Amino acid sequence: MAYPVSFSFEEFNNISSHSGKLKYANERLQKLSSGSSRVVYRVDDDKVLKIAKNSKGLAQNSTESDYSLQRSYSIIAKVFEVSDDGFWVEMELAKKTTPNRFKELNGVSIKEVDDILRNLKNVYDPYYRKMHGSGNLLELEKKQHEIINNNEFLSELWDMIQNYDMSYPADFGRISSYGEVLRDGDPTIVLVDFGLTQTTYKEYYFRK
């Protein structure tokens, strides 16, 4: 399958304004979701098209399409193509998942993922450490890493967060950030929204 015959990338790319491109996509593709930074459209049974609305959408598209990131981790949806300006990315379509299905396939619940990341955020927050005393947090830190090290999904997620300076818990504790795909015939949970780095958060989302 492919793009509808009414959708032409030549026409799409020749539209000068972001609003014009979004209007073009709205009229020709099925909209799946829309957030503050990007709109996601279904292309066919295999792909979606993510289009940036603004600068923070461009930044997240850039992160998700990073070659090294894509090559290094199996828990993220694959990016097939990206525009030269990062305005759009073509990504693997993942069907919606549920908390029960998430736990069945990963051996850990979405709530546990959120709790672990929130605990570690506190452990490494200097203000939190000052308030509670670093010594009192050592046992909490040890417990979280024991859980992570004993779960393949959590290990890969935490490694990715650290290596790419991603903001957490952020969207990682939300079931809507995940979907299910087949990898080598096996059902697999993957992240479909993973572009928020600490830099992007501080620049576009953080309010002092």
- pLDDT of the chain, 208 residues: tens digit per residue: 689 999 999 999 899 888 999 999 999 999 999 998 999 999 999 999 999 999 999 999 999 999 999 999 999 999 999 999 999 999 999 999 999 999 999 999 999 999 999 999 988 887 677 676 666 788 889 999 999 999 999 999 999 999 999 999 989 999 999 999 999 999 999 999 999 999 998 888 776 4
- Give the pLDDT score at 134: 65
User: Of 173, 156, 162, 170, which is closest to residue 112 (Cα–Cα)?
Assistant: 173
User: Of 76, 75, 31, which is closest to residue 49 (Cα–Cα)?
Assistant: 31
Contact 24, 11 (CB under 8 A): yes
State the amino acid at position 167 in one-letter form.
Answer: S
- Give the pLDDT score at 207: 61
Burial of 170 (C-beta count, 10 Å sphere; 0-12/13-18/19+): buried
- Report how far apart the first and last C-alpha atoms of the chain are (Å, whole number): 47
- Give the pLDDT score at 205: 79
Q: pTM of the predicted model, to two decimals?
A: 0.91
